[in-house]
Amino acid sequence: MKKYSEMSREELLALKKELDQQFADIKAQGLSLDMSRGKPGMDQLDISMEMMDVLKGDSDLKCETGVDCRNYGVPDGIPEAKRLLGAISEVDPDNIIIFGNSSLNVMFDTVARSMTHGVMGNTPWCKLDKVKFLCPVPGYDRHFKITEFFGIEMINIPMTPEGPDMDMVEKLVSEDAAVKGIWCVPKYSNPQGYTYSEETVKRFAHLKPAAPDFRIYWDNAYSVHHLYDEDQDFLLEILDECAKAGNPDMVYKFTSTSKISFPGSGIAAVAASKANLDDFRKYMQIQTIGHDKLNQLRHVRFFKDLAGVHEHMRKHAALIRPKFQLVDDILTRELDGLGIGEWTKPKGGYFISFESMEGCAKAIVAKAKEAGVVMTGAGATYPYGKDPKDSNIRIAPTYPDLKELEEAAKVFVVCVKLASVEKLLEA
């Protein structure tokens, strides 16, 4: 079939009539489907249920150092949890602090503390005339909401399959002391599923910031979230590279078990240099007497070690791989060669990034909603919700079951076709 852009007006009008009928038929079905967030499906949650049984009323609830996990204390996290999360994060247990259930919460706190008290003795950001953050786009909407909440100016950095545009990053970081940070999802990025190349990671490690308190917010949320056993992306370890480059304090590396065990009931952690972690501990000793050590113990006894985590993640992959393949198959069958959309084919993570014709994303998402399919809002993957090309749509295939996902994907392609035809007829 030829590209929509090569069709005559008469052909487009005939196609629109056909698509209008398809759209009306879909609306008549009264569908109610949700592809809006990257949540695990119920079958994924089920594979962690045995974790609920590893601690019982008669269990030994002491960690390996003899501390009673039912009581106060051990603010850094129990040693076995530091080893487990350290292994997931590819860092030494001495370079990690275990927090509560949410890495997003830790990121929010870290920005808030930087605003009110500064970073390692530097001027609190709230006392500065201007604070800026670099935002690889399309990116993670919740990252951008944090910096927007604190009134921090966000600067779009285009993403490539190799990672952010590093020429732009290097220039802005080295020339402007108001640039205090950059958001990164370096492995199986949200939403494109890209993994930063070795060159990109090394260029990050060798940055020469104008601001002494510049930090890379390295949110390695999908470090073990592969879709395939063999065909997996590799990410260079950033803390080691920063240390070798003479920039040991430049990065905060966040991770959690949220999409490994239970979202909202997992364990979060931050890996960083000793100086950075000591800076964290100053506010932690005021904020808490210790996080949930029973949850830490529960996770350690369930997973045991990194090999146990990898085995568990293979079970996740077996459940969600068919969903990614189904979406890709439908997009390929229905849209390939029409010139009205491109999409990523990630090897891991939770999302597929779809690029429509310029100026069509909002219309597509609105039509999908009208047809009973809720998707992530168009523009959500950009700071302030403003996609300059109005073209990016984040597809989240994991939550619906396969039957619902197939229905939703079929609705989506009809909406893409209809919005594209209408856009071309406007020209």
Q: Nearest-5° angle of CA 353, CA 359, CA 364?
A: 60
pLDDT at residue 133 in the model:
98
Domain end point (choices 287, 304, 321): 304
| 381 inside domain | yes
Cα gap 283→117, rounded to integer Å: 10
Same domain for 93 and 211, yes or no, is yes
pLDDT tens per residue across span 8-22: 999 999 999 999 999
pLDDT at residue 72 in the model:
96
| 49 inside domain | no
DSSP characters for 9-56?
HHHHHHHHHHHHHHHHHHHHTT--EEESS-PPPHHHHHTTGGGGGSS-
Secondary structure element (H or E) that encloses residue 70, with its range: none
User: Which residues, listed in sequence order, are joined to residue 35 by a DSSP beta bridge?
Assistant: 375
Calculate the average pLDDT of the chain.
Answer: 97
pLDDT at residue 427 in the model:
80
Q: Give the pair of three-digit tokens for residue 257.
A: 């078990």
Q: Which of 346, 426, 357 is closest to 391 using CA atoms? A: 357
| 282 inside domain | yes
**Secondary structure letter of residue 376 according to DSSP:** P
Cα gap 140→117, rounded to integer Å: 26
pLDDT at residue 88 in the model:
98
Same domain for 285 and 146, yes or no, is yes
Cα gap 78→76, rounded to integer Å: 7
| 53 inside domain | no
pLDDT at residue 1 in the model:
75
Q: Where are the beta strands (DSSP E) in 124-172?
A: 132-137, 153-160, 163-164
Q: Which residue has the tokens 């990065």?
A: 251
Same domain for 65 and 32, yes or no, is no
Residue type, 314: R
Strand-strand pairing, 251-256 and 341-343? unpaired
The domain that holds 217 is classified in CATH as 3.40.640.10
Q: Which of 425, 360, 415 is closest to 392 using CA atoms? A: 360
Same domain for 230 and 330, yes or no, is no
Phi, psi of 145 (to 5 degrees): -65, -35
- What's the chain's length in residues? 427
Cα gap 271→269, rounded to integer Å: 7
Contact between 174 and 208 under an 8 Å Cβ cutoff? The reply is yes
Same domain for 15 and 102, yes or no, is no
Cis peptide upstream of residue 263 (ω within 30 degrees of 0): no
Kindly state the average pLDDT of the residues 297-302. Answer: 98
pLDDT of residue 376 exceeding 80: yes
Query: What band does 162 get if pLDDT is binned at 50, 70 and 90?
Result: very high
Percent of the chain as helix, strand, coil, to the nearest 5: 45, 15, 40
Kindly state the average pLDDT of the residues 219-238. Answer: 97
pTM of the model: 0.97
Same domain for 229 and 368, yes or no, is no
DSSP characters for 247-270?
-TTSEEEEEESTTTS-TTSS-EEE
Residue type, 221: A
| 54 inside domain | no
Cα gap 411→374, rounded to integer Å: 11
pLDDT of residue 106 exceeding 90: yes
Domain end point (choices 304, 327, 351): 304
pLDDT tens per residue across span 41-63: 999 999 999 999 999 999 999 99
**Secondary structure letter of residue 165 according to DSSP:** -
Same domain for 28 and 69, yes or no, is no
Kindly state the average pLDDT of the residues 130-143. Answer: 98
Same domain for 95 and 12, yes or no, is no
Same domain for 141 and 188, yes or no, is yes
Q: Nearest-5° angle of CA 149, CA 154, CA 158?
A: 135
Cα gap 382→138, rounded to integer Å: 6
Query: Residue 190, SS3?
Result: coil
| 375 inside domain | yes
Same domain for 289 and 389, yes or no, is no
Same domain for 67 and 168, yes or no, is yes
pLDDT tens per residue across span 399-422: 999 999 999 999 999 999 999 999
Q: Where are the beta strands (DSSP E) in 228-367?
A: 251-256, 268-271, 341-343, 352-356
The domain that holds 326 is classified in CATH as 3.90.1150.10
Same domain for 135 and 274, yes or no, is yes
Domain end point (choices 237, 270, 304): 304
pLDDT at residue 37 in the model:
85
| 336 inside domain | yes
| 56 inside domain | no
pLDDT over 90 percentage in the chain = 98
Residue type, 361: A
Instruction: Print the domain residue range for 149.
Output: 61-304
Query: Residue 354, SS3?
Result: strand
Cα gap 419→427, rounded to integer Å: 13
Helices (H), ranges, 176-249: 198-205, 238-244
pLDDT tens per residue across span 70-102: 999 999 999 999 999 999 999 999 999 999 999
pLDDT tens per residue across span 259-292: 999 999 999 999 999 999 999 999 999 999 999 9
Domain count within the chain: 2
